[in-house]
Amino acid sequence: MDINTILAGVQKNASGADPIGNTLKFDFGDNDLIYIDGTGTENSVTIIEEDMEADCVIIISKENFIKLTTGDLNPMTAVMMGQVKIKGNMGVAMKLQSLL
């Protein structure tokens, strides 16, 4: 799955969710980065080409991201097994369920 397909899915879910009140970045490796800015009145989801600071960074492969969003991978198990790495504010990571 390519980054644009993932972006479209996250944008769809984020548009119907309340703003998360923070910034969040998904790092899929190979300079594939999706940035969510939920500090305004809505969640803005974009692909970024240059690395930006975020309150929380989720490092995950595209394959594992798809598994998480389809329910084929448990988030806690993924973190414990090192399939997902979280840097920064863990509270922001907890808000992900509303976006996925």
Express each pLDDT in 7-21 by its tens digit.
Answer: 999 999 998 899 999
Q: H-type helices in 1-100, by residue range?
A: 3-15, 62-70, 75-80, 90-94
Q: Is the pLDDT of residue 100 over 90?
A: no
Distance (Å, rounded) from C-alpha 92 to C-alpha 19?
11
Q: Which residue has the tokens 């939920």?
A: 38
Distance (Å, rounded) from C-alpha 4 to C-alpha 32?
10
- Rounded percentage of the chain residues whose pLDDT exceeds 70: 100
Q: Is the pLDDT of residue 96 over 90?
A: no
- Rounded percentage of the chain residues whose pLDDT exceeds 90: 78
pLDDT band at 97 (very low <50, low <70, confident <90, very high): confident
